[in-house]
């Protein structure tokens, strides 16, 4: 069963930055990435930046998260400086959430696994969805990745508990 768990859930290193703006001030985001200001709520898109792909997720009318996979801690200020320059003179916040949030990648069987603790109907959701939801007793941010895989973010203090929950759910699926 340990092999199944390792194949299902893989921690993902990287940096996570939260950007908050008043809804009327979003046009400045075009300086960061064309189309970012028009990204719909609960949607995501990837863009190339500084020789890597950033994942932008709009989680609310005034909140964007930017995931920089594989980034080193020293690289977060670079992204935060770009956000600061783009939003110059506009009331905003840009916070590095990397220490407070952990990222997990769930393999191709993720939808079936997640259905044991999540009320979302993954078959009806758009492929570019990114949203907050409940997974069991955990509050997570979830976004589809390549193929049927899923990325999710959870508070770092709850990450081990969530991984244990996912392991139990995987065993339940294996028995069913």
Number of separate domains in the chain: 2
Residue 73 has pLDDT above 80, yes or no: no
Say if residue 43 is in the same domain as residue 92.
yes
Contact 66, 17 (CB under 8 A): yes
Contact 133, 44 (CB under 8 A): no
Pairing of strands 101-106, 9-11: antiparallel
Please give the pLDDT value at position 4: 44
Lowest mean pLDDT among 36-45, 48-57, 71-80, 106-115: 71-80
Say if residue 76 is in the same domain as residue 20.
yes
Query: What's the CA gap between 45 and 67, in Å, rounded?
Result: 11
Tally of helices (H runs) and strands (E runs) in the chain? 4, 10
Query: What's the CA gap between 31 and 75, in Å, rounded?
Result: 19
Q: Give the domain-ending residue among 45, 67, 96.
A: 96
Query: What's the CA gap between 34 and 31, in Å, rounded?
Result: 7
Contact 132, 139 (CB under 8 A): yes
Pick the closest to residue 107 from 70, 164, 145 (CA basis): 145
Say if residue 71 is in the same domain as residue 127.
no
Say if residue 132 is in the same domain as residue 154.
yes
The model carries a pTM of 0.88
Say if residue 26 is in the same domain as residue 38.
yes
Say if residue 73 is in the same domain as residue 90.
yes
Say if residue 21 is in the same domain as residue 86.
yes
Residue 5 has pLDDT above 70, yes or no: no
Say if residue 79 is in the same domain as residue 139.
no
Banded model confidence at residue 3, pLDDT cuts 50, 70, 90: very low
Say if residue 126 is in the same domain as residue 57.
no
Q: How many CA atoms lie within 13 A of 110 on its CB side?
A: 24
Q: Is the alpha carbon torsion for 34, 40, 41, 42 positive or negative?
A: negative
The overall average pLDDT reported for the chain is: 86
Q: What is the CATH number of the domain that holds 128?
A: 3.30.1360.120
Say if residue 159 is in the same domain as residue 128.
yes
Q: With helix as H, strand as E and coil as C, how does 27-53 read?
A: HHHHHCCCCHHHCCCCEEEEEEECCEE
Boundaries of domain holding 132: 2-11+101-175
Q: What is the CATH number of the domain that holds 90?
A: 3.30.70.1400
Please give the pLDDT value at position 163: 92
Q: Give the domain-ending residue among 63, 96, 129.
A: 96
């Amino acid at each position: 069963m340990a092999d199944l768990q390792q194949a299902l859930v893989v921690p993902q290193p990287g940096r996570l930055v939260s950007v908050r703006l008043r809804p009327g001030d979003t046009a400045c985001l075009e300086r960061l990435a064309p189309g970012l200001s028009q990204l719909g709520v609960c949607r995501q898109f990837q863009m190339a930046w500084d020789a890597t792909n950033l994942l932008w997720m709009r989680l609310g009318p005034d909140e964007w998260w930017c995931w920089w996979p594989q980034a080193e801690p020293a690289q977060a200020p670079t992204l935060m400086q770009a956000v600061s320059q783009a939003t110059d003179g506009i009331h905003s916040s840009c916070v590095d959430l990397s220490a407070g949030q952990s990222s997990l990648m769930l393999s191709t069987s993720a939808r079936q696994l997640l259905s044991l603790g999540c009320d979302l109907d993954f078959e009806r959701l758009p492929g570019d969805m990114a949203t907050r939801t409940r997974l069991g007793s955990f509050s997570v941010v979830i976004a589809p990745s390549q193929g049927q895989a899923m990325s999710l973010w959870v508070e770092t203090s709850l990450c081990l508990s969530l991984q244990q929950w996912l392991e139990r759910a995987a065993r339940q699926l294996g028995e069913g």
